[in-house]
Chains A and B, each alone.
Chain A
Amino acid sequence: MMPLGLLGTGEKAEVMEIRERNRGVKPAAACCGPDGNGWSCRMENMGLRTGKVVEMLNNEGAGAMLIKVDESRIAIGRGMAMKIMVRRQG
């Protein structure tokens, strides 16, 4: 397992775990909310969830990165990408 943020351009990986910002586990009753917690829920709504295969389209080592999930291209900040644990494929 490795953080999504370390995946190189062109690599594919399966999402294993999405870590909530402040704690290891998702807090109970954490609804998607704008307070900064529950942000993993936001990603899930956009289709980035455990079990999905993602492709890294652009990772320049700094700044945001671009991943492909199903048919969507999602730009994601580095901080968030480091909290998504993936297993590299192929």
Chain B
Amino acid sequence: MNTAASSWEPSVKIPEFETRDLKRKSIAVAVAGNPNSGKSTLINGIAGTRLHVGNWPGVTVEKKEAVFEYRGRRIRLVDLPGTYSLSPYTQEEIISRDYLVREKPDVIVNVVDATNLERNLYLTVQLMELGIPVVMALNIFDEAEKKGYRIDTKAIEDMLGIAVVPTVATRKIGLDDLLKRAISFAEESPLRLPKHLIYGADAEAASRQIEDHLRKDHPSVAAAYPLRWLALKMMEGDSRVMEETGLDEGGLLGETLNHLRAAHEEDIESLMADARYAQASGLTREVMIRPAIRKMEITEKIDRIVLNRFLGIPIFLAAMWLVFKFTFDVSTPFADWIDAMTTGPFRRWAVAAMGFIHAPAWTASLVTDGIIAGVGFVLVFVPVIFAMMFFITFLEGSGYMARAAFVMDRAMHAIGLHGKSFIPMLLGFGCNVPAVYATRVLENPRDKALTSLLIPLMSCGARLPVYVVFIGAFFAAHAGTVLWSLYVMGIALAVLMGIMFKRTLFKGESPMFIMELPPYRMPSFRSLMIHTWEKGKHFLIKAGTYILAVSVLVWFLLNLPWGVQNKKDSYLGKAGQVIAPVLEPLGFGNWEAASSLVSGLIAKEIVVGTMGEIYAHKAKEDKKEQPSPTDDFREIGTSFLAASKKSVSNIFSTFGISSLSAQQDDESAGLKPVLRKTFTPLSAYAFIVFVLLYMPCVIVAIAMRQEFGTWKWFGIAFTYQMALAWSVAFVIYQGGKLIGIGG
């Protein structure tokens, strides 16, 4: 093999030089690199924005931006999803490639994992073909140094004609320098273009011919793309490029290509891939010195245990159990606190305020029974959601999540999927919406569709409020077990449906599985916080928008036609009455349940909100004495402290989950006693199972529509879930009655 340097040539040809306004106002910086190389961390470090960070390849599946001012310039950093190459394989690679090719950023910051130079350089070589200046952030430099790697950055700069800046994104080392180099490269653009990799005499000749041909005969195409890149892709037979440009292999183009193919036995693509790879590995050998003996890394030691045939699945189950336990231990006291606040002081203040401004009775009712009852019920679950997101983020950030996919691969084959589909499904326990988006990491459209169909069976955080209320009212003594049974039922049904789908809709080959396992890392506190917030904020936004709006809507539906005395005769009540007979065989054929299920189509947590509103007038009478506002403030403060203390002590106590029910029972507002009048324990269980299964919420529907570009998959999900929910609830209720439990 020839040395790396000899096959590069400078790409700047002076005649093409065009003078540009050297101080440009706005600079677009594309941040590209391999998955998990630290792109998002780096952007966070520079711009201080809250982008999604995780130690699981493919976390960023959409491109995200951060805009800020720097020395009089407007800098736009675009965080692209990680890619191994610019041949589009997965959807996230297509996103990255389309951005780079079409939007033509002013400079590319190529984030490179210094501990894995060779593989990362393979992408660098391709980025250099886009006709845009490249600045390399040699990231994770700390770990590379720890491993004893020595990298000659000057040599890389000279050989490739790019800038190289060592960085440690997690500790913000080198970021300022990086930004300065990127700006100066962008502003001196034509002089700073990277060198070209020479693919050999005849390939170069062919490329030049194609370039000329395009410039002459297809000027619009030539103007829209980086020309050399386009020519090279055409030589590789990139079907996407051909499709997009609308060119076919006829005429001069075909002639050139055929000529080249004949000379190289058809396979130009491999030839070019080999040339790029040879460059990457040749370069690595020249610029990097590594120690002769390699220590066994800590990651390998942990993997020995975690991926062990016998220990793998038990360890995974234990990890999940801990996540659930910690979630409830940490969050329950805070949930109780919020509950006590919204049903206590806030409600009293609202009533007082309404009285003070002499609001008409209906407005007062809208505020207290509609908004405070509806939103309040849902807000109670904010701590649970955030706690769960926190622990899932921790598993992601540590690198364990990818191992879970590996361990579960064998089990997933039973349902016609492979280990990689497991991660989106697991995320579904937090919220189904990001889970549907996370299916983008799957290469195969078949896997994507099947996984998305099964995701709604993973019990999301929004269903938790419903369970908690009903469990508190009916199964307080066995809260943990009942809750666990719901999650397990969701999973078991997912397996069942997976097997069924595999036999019907998704015949065909068993899917391919390939993914990288990142090294274990301790996630930084900062990134944990950012990421937890990212995931949890949707719930808060939902509470502040959708749920608020729906609460108001539900209030009106419950109080119209104007002046109804009995809620049963309101619009919502009437709708409930129409549907109730269908639910009769399931044990909850009352209009209250039916009405709340209807409202829950928007988002499942609204089911409890609506129940809260329906029963609000009954609950009100419970509150008798009226404490003074100062008492209220004292209560808020002291009870918050008590909640924090309890949260911490819960983690260390073994009986965490049981505290969930015991606490809720005596503090929660009057909903529970009312529920006990309408439901039996058996019908209550059938009801929560129905809520678990009955359909994905509207936001999931939108996500599915977005991902697939058609309503087809949502339609299938909707149909099968309705049927499933009805049948399972039917079996539970009728079966339970038959064997004589709690009918």
CB distance from B371 to the nearest CB of A (A): 47
Nearest CB in chain A: distance from B295 CB, A: 13
Contacts of B443 in A (CB 8 A): 34, 39, 42
* Cα–Cα distance between A42 and B445 once the two chains are bound (Å): 16
Determine if A72 is an interface residue (Cβ-Cβ < 8 Å): yes
Known: A29-B239, A31-B269, A66-B303. A75 touches B84 (CB 8 A): no
By beta carbon, the residue of chain A nearest B257 is A29
Do B89 and A45 touch (CB < 8 A)? yes
- Is A53 interfacial (CB 8 A cutoff)? no
Q: Does A11 belong to the interface (CB within 8 Å)?
A: no
Known: A75-B516, A80-B514. A31 touches B87 (CB 8 A): yes
- Separation of A50 and B236 alpha carbons in the complex (Å): 19
User: Are B513's CB and A75's CB within 8 A?
Assistant: yes
Interface residues of B in 42-97 (CB under 8 A from A): 84-85, 87-91
Interface residues contributed by chain B, number (CB under 8 Å): 51
Q: Once the chains bind, are A42 and B509 in contact (CB under 8 Å)?
A: no
Q: How far is the CA of A39 from the CA of B90 in the complex (A)?
A: 11
Complex contact A75–B239 (CB within 8 A): no
Query: Is A79 a contact of B510 with CB atoms below 8 Å?
Result: yes
A86: min CB distance to chain B, Å: 16
Decide if A63 is an interface residue (CB 8 Å cutoff): yes
A90 at the interface (CB under 8 A from B): no
User: Which one, A58, A76, A79, contacts B303 given CB within 8 A?
Assistant: A58
Q: Which residue on chain B has the smallest CB distance to residue A58?
A: B307
Which of B116-124, B157-165, B545-553 forms part of the interface with chain A?
Answer: B116-124
Are A43's CB and B514's CB within 8 A?
yes
Residue B400 interfacial (CB < 8 Å): no
A77 to B405, CA, bound (A): 11
**What's the least CB distance linking B117 to chain A, in Å?**
8
Say yes or no: is B712 at the interface (Cβ < 8 Å to chain A). no
CB within 8 Å for A79 and B410 given contacts A47-B118, A64-B418: no
**Contacting pair B89 A75 (CB below 8 A):** no
A41 contacts across to B, CB distance below 8 A: 87, 89, 269, 273
Chain A min CB distance to B80 (Å): 16
A24 within 8 A of B: no
A46 touches B119 (CB 8 A): yes
Say if the beta carbon of B496 comes within 8 Å of chain A.
no
A29 touches B237 (CB 8 A): yes
Asked whether B515 lies within 8 Å of A74 as measured between CB atoms, the reply is yes
**Which residues of chain A come closer than 8 Å to B118, judged between CB atoms?**
47, 70-71
A36 to B230, CA, bound (A): 24
Give which listed residue, A26, A29, A47, A64, contacts B409 with CB less than 8 A.
A64
B103 close to A (CB within 8 Å)? no
Contact B115 A71 (CB under 8 A): yes
Q: Which chain B residues have a beta carbon within 8 Å of chain A's beta carbons?
A: 84-85, 87-91, 115-119, 122, 236-240, 261, 266-267, 269-270, 273, 277, 299-300, 303, 307, 309, 402, 405-406, 409-410, 413, 418-419, 443-445, 509-517, 519
